[in-house]
């Protein structure tokens, strides 16, 4: 569980590398499997109690696992509806570049960006009722022009080029030119092409340590139209390798690593209370929020997202 804090001070995040091991399951072994969790919306602006954003936190945990000689495989447990395109791509790179085999285990939801980050894994496991798929890209915006007209507010815009105010909230939908629509749609198409490339390459058995896993069906791209899939359907179409849960993930990690037994551990970074120093000595009241649950950040207009449509608004 991550602690979320608002109003933290600046610090050297790259050198903040102290961590401890926590044993999740003790099998009295001298070998370990590292459990790494991704929960909630994928977002570069989600910050934990130590000031690390989501990508930084995952990068550290994967690095610790890869540098730990006792760790033989990584269990990547995903429960996410997706999120920002860039953050999803950065996490997928972390998985792809891991020196240790990665087994992704999907929870209740691993859709869109949640599937994107799993695709480069050596093995993917989903529950029969997991919500996954939603392969696609979306960008949304809002127009407040009709409301402005009713209030008698007239926007005055000076711009350096004809497309500088594209996606502006001041424009009526009928004012959006065909050229502007094409520019945005081309960008979405390019990003969508990358999504399909990540899926195609990730599901290529030649890249997966010789494991006899699932392969994509011939017409798999017909399922890459943004629709959500159950774990069962994803398995049938070759998007995942196995149906199961965390226990099955542990068994598969042992097999992929070629070992008979291992403890399951996770890494913890102690909370750095020095981050609270900026609040000390202040005469005005300061607000610190600690979040013990999961809260979806508000979507930002004009950004590309790999996100399940059930959580857009």
Q: Is 159 a catalytic residue?
A: no
Nearest alpha-carbon partner for 84 in 56, 43, 53: 43
Residue 98's closest CA among 126, 123, 74? Answer: 74
CA–CA distance, 234 with 213 (Å, rounded to integer): 13
Largest CA distance in the chain: 73
Catalytic residue among 57, 88, 112, 134: 112
Helix axes 85-96, 178-202, angle to 10 degrees: 20
Alpha helices by DSSP H, listed for 152-270, are 178-202, 231-236, 246-257
Rounded distance between C-alpha atoms, residue 130 and residue 99, angstroms: 28
State the helix-helix crossing angle for 85-96 and 54-67, rounded to 10 degrees: 0
Indicate which residue of 99, 159, 162, 164 is catalytic.
164
282 noted as active-site residue: no
Q: Are 80 and 68 in contact (CB under 8 A)?
A: no
Closest CA to 189 of 225, 137, 135, 141: 137
Active site residues: 112, 164
């Amino acid at each position: 569980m991550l602690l979320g804090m608002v109003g933290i001070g600046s610090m050297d995040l790259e050198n903040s590398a102290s961590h401890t091991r926590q044993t999740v399951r003790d099998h009295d072994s001298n070998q370990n499997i590292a459990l790494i969790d991704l929960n909630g919306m994928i977002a570069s602006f989600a910050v934990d109690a130590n000031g690390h954003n989501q990508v930084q936190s995952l990068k550290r945990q994967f690095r610790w696992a890869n540098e730990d000689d006792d760790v033989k495989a990584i269990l990547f447990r995903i429960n996410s509806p997706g999120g920002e395109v860039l953050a999803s791509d950065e996490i997928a790179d972390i998985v792809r570049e891991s020196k240790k085999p990665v087994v992704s285990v999907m929870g209740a939801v691993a859709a869109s960006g949640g599937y994107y980050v799993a695709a480069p894994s050596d093995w993917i496991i989903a529950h029969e009722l997991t919500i996954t798929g939603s392969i696609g890209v979306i960008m949304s915006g809002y127009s407040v022009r009709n409301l402005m007209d009713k209030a008698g507010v007239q926007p005055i815009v000076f711009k350096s080029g004809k497309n500088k105010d594209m996606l502006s909230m001041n424009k009526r939908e009928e004012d959006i030119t065909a050229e502007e629509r094409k520019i945005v749609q081309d960008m979405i198409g390019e990003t969508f092409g990358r999504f399909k490339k990540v899926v195609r390459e990730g599901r290529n058995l030649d890249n997966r340590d010789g494991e006899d896993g699932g392969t994509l069906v011939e017409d798999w791209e017909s399922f890459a139209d943004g629709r959500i899939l159950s774990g069962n359907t994803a398995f049938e179409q070759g998007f995942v390798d196995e149906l199961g849960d965390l226990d099955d993930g542990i068994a598969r990690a042992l097999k992929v690593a070629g070992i008979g037994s291992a403890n399951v551990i996770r890494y913890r970074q102690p909370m750095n209370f020095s981050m609270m120093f900026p609040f000390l000595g202040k005469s005005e009241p300061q607000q610190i929020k600690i979040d013990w649950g999961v809260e979806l950040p508000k979507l930002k207009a004009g950004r590309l997202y790999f996100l399940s449509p059930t959580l857009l608004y």
